[in-house]
Amino acid sequence: MDRLIQIIKKSFDLEEDICGNTPLISTGLIDSLKVALLLTILEREYGKKIDTRDVGTDNFDTPAQIEKLLNRL
């Protein structure tokens, strides 16, 4: 989880402290345009292909949700 959080913070230059349950998309920390960039970054860093149908505020909004998705792939 720490690696994922650091990737997110570094990629988007976030000053806010975020944890596993911090909403990223629904709170606007990462806007919809940056979601596509986040997908590209995560696919490169983790070597996994993320289906865009799996991306939404119900299952891709917090680092914990993102990590769960990455572990499932």
| Domain residue spans of the chain | 2-72
Distance CA 50, CA 39 (A): 7
Supply the pLDDT for residue 69: 96
> Do 54 and 69 touch, CB atoms closer than 8 A?
yes
Architecture of the CATH domain 2-72: Orthogonal Bundle (1.10)
User: Could you report the per-residue pLDDT of 16-65, keeping only the tens digit for each?
Assistant: 899 999 999 999 999 888 999 999 999 999 999 999 999 988 999 999 99
The vertex-12 CA angle with 52 and 28, nearest 5°, equals: 70
Q: Is the pLDDT of residue 15 over 90?
A: no
**pTM, 2 dp:** 0.92
Distance CA 21, CA 37 (A): 21
